[in-house]
Amino acid sequence: MNVHEAFLKRMEFVFGEFENVLVAFSCGKDSGVMLNLAYRWAEEHKMLGKLAMYYMDYEADYQQTDEFAKRSFDEGFPGIKKYWLCLPVSAQCSCSMTDPYWIPWDEDKRDLWVKPMPDSPHVVNEHNVPWPFKKGTYGADVRKDFAKWFRQRHGTTAVLVGIRMDESLSRRATITSQHRVKMHKGRRWSEVLGDGLVSFYPMFDWGVEDIWTANARFGFDYNRAYDMMYLAGLSPAEMRVASPFHSCGQSSLKLYRALSPHTWGKMVGRVNGVNFMNIYGGTPATGYKKATKPAHFTWKQYAMFLLKTLPPRIRQRFVENIARFEKSWAESGYGRNPRVIAQMEAEGIKLEHTGEVSKLCTKPDYYEIVRIKSGIPDDTAISDFRHCPSWKAICVTILKNDFTLQYMSVSRSKKDIERRNAVLAKYKATL
């Protein structure tokens, strides 16, 4: 069967298993097709009462994205439950070197808002949010809290998320990891979130060509920002409508100036560093393409120089996480396959072989845990720095303003987790 037929089979399964089907709509091309197809299936099978949609609006978007959201909520998809979330959440911000997060819809900065609060009966904001919410909660946590509230209010819920494996290796791993255990009835395209609450990825095997084929064949409405991107010369794979201040939107930030000039001026005034990222996003200055350094520096020296340019609070976070990273490689070690180990040793990196097999690695191979005893190397010929660390890779993460080192696949530190838990506990105590 083709991917469309496979999707319909998955809808038959999901609608048969749960009392509700909640579509995570982002106004992007993938979630837009997913919503349209789910709606068609529910309408044909007289199950529109089971279907719902939600959209988390981050305030700063293309004008065409706002127009698509309004059409979808106020004109399209009649007969289903709709939630347009406009909440002051903590959203990742890679444009500013002083603030790793920004807060859309912050009432204290209403005069700086990129756009006014949408005028729609479906809007959920700080004044009418029906579940316990505190300003500054992480966006990912808000989505989980909303889904849990929805499940408690309406019954068992399947959340449809429009991710595709061909977009990134991390998304492919979401489906293919051999260590996944929280699946619903063995479906690898699912993830159990709680009692009666499951995420599903029914478009995991679609390609970008399939998305646009569906739009053309069925005449679906879609975000017209993609038309502007096409006219600007972008390939279908390059077209994204991610939050402009998020790290994955850095390289395309300059498009906002060209494609949505009416909001660009407000975006520059909304978040510190936006115009810098507009000029240098997607260049070596922000850790993209071929990173370079001054000739008189080693990569480690360049990293120390870059750290000195940062505000004390951000610099301290970097220093702590880099030290944790070095200590982890020296004392705990990581699992690597024999080919990577051989490459590391051929470059003169002194390794301690533990003889232990890592249980964290997901690919069907032998992964021995090794420790680096000669210190993090300055540079490496190993193309993927997630396999072998280097000071060059650390420089790239600094340039990307990634103080948690997640770009290097480093997990959150205990301190970061404790800080997050303390904030959540504080908010819960005030409810």
Q: How far apart are CA 176 and CA 361, in angstroms?
A: 12
**Predicted pLDDT at 291:** 78
> Residues of CATH 3.40.50.620 domain(s) within the chain?
3-218
Task: Supply the pLDDT for residue 222.
Answer: 97
Say if strands 190-194 and 20-24 run parallel, antiparallel, or are unpaired.
Answer: unpaired
Q: Which residues contact 304 (CB under 8 A, 6 or more apart)?
A: none
Residue 244: half-sphere exposure toward Cβ, Cα within 13 Å:
30
pLDDT at 238 (0 to 100): 83
In the chain (431 residues long), the average pLDDT of successive 10-residue segments reads 97 98 97 98 98 95 93 97 96 63 90 93 97 93 96 98 88 80 92 96 96 97 94 86 62 69 71 52 54 91 91 86 92 92 94 90 80 94 83 86 67 51 54 47
What per-residue confidence (pLDDT) applies to 431?
47
Say yes or no: domain 3-218 is CATH 3.40.50.620.
Answer: yes
**102 DSSP β-pair partners:** 91
The pTM (predicted TM-score) of the whole model is 0.73
